[in-house]
Amino acid sequence: MSQVIQIEKLEQAFEDILNQPELSGVKQLYDRKASLNYHARHLESAIKMLEDDLRKHSVSFQAATEALIDFAIKNVFPGLTGHKVLINVPTKNTFGDLQCNSAIRLSKVIRYFHIISAQDVQNSVCANDPQTIAKLIIEAVPSNDIIEKMEVAGPGFINIWVSKTFVVRELRKIISIGARPPRLSRTYTIAIDMSSPNIAKEMHVGHLRSTIIGESISRLLSFLGHRVLKINHIGDWGTQFGMLIAHLQELFPDSNCAPPIADLQAFYKTSKTRFDSEEDFKSRAYNAVVQLQCLDPKHIRAWEQICDISRKGTLHAIDDLMHA
**Does 51 lie in the same domain as 93?**
no
The residue among 153, 247, 231, 159 whose CA lies nearest residue 192 is 231
Contacts of 89 (CB under 8 A, 6+ apart): 97, 98, 99
Q: Is the separation of the CB atoms in 17 and 23 below 8 Å?
A: yes
**Does 94 lie in the same domain as 82?**
yes
Residue 313 pLDDT: 79
186: alpha, beta or left, given left = phi > 0 and alpha = psi -120 to 50? beta
Residue 121 pLDDT: 39
CB neighbours (10 Å) of residue 127? 21
Residue 323 pLDDT: 73
243-276 pLDDT, tens digit per residue, is 999 998 888 887 677 778 777 788 888 999 999 9
Residue 57 pLDDT: 66
195-to-203, 209, 213, 319 alpha-carbon distances in Å: 9, 8, 9, 14
| pTM exceeds 0.85, yes or no | no
Distance CA 247, CA 244 (A): 5
> Does any domain span residue 233?
no
91-to-39, 97, 134, 159, 245 alpha-carbon distances in Å: 34, 10, 19, 11, 66
> Does any domain span residue 65?
yes
**Does 15 lie in the same domain as 87?**
no
Which residues lie across from 88 on neighbouring strands?
99
> Does any domain span residue 76?
yes
> Does any domain span residue 205?
no
> Does any domain span residue 78?
yes
Which CATH number fits the domain that encloses residue 132?
Answer: 3.30.1360.70
Residue 237 pLDDT: 67
Residue 148 pLDDT: 94
**Does 27 lie in the same domain as 100?**
no
Distance CA 310, CA 29 (A): 78
154-197 pLDDT, tens digit per residue, is 889 999 999 999 999 888 888 887 777 777 778 899 999 888 88
**Does 179 lie in the same domain as 63?**
yes
Query: Residue 41 belongs to what domain range?
Result: 1-55
**Does 19 lie in the same domain as 134?**
no
Residue 274 pLDDT: 93
**Does 65 lie in the same domain as 179?**
yes
Write the single-letter amino acid at 81: T
Residue 279 pLDDT: 93
**Does 68 lie in the same domain as 24?**
no
- Phi/psi for 206 (5° steps) reads -65, -40
All residue ranges of the chain with pLDDT < 50 are 118, 120-125
> Does any domain span residue 199?
no
CA 314 to chain centre: 31
**Does 127 lie in the same domain as 11?**
no
Total domains in the fold of the chain:
3
> Does any domain span residue 202?
no
Residue 30 pLDDT: 65
> Which residue among 35, 55, 75 closes a domain?
55
> Does any domain span residue 197?
no
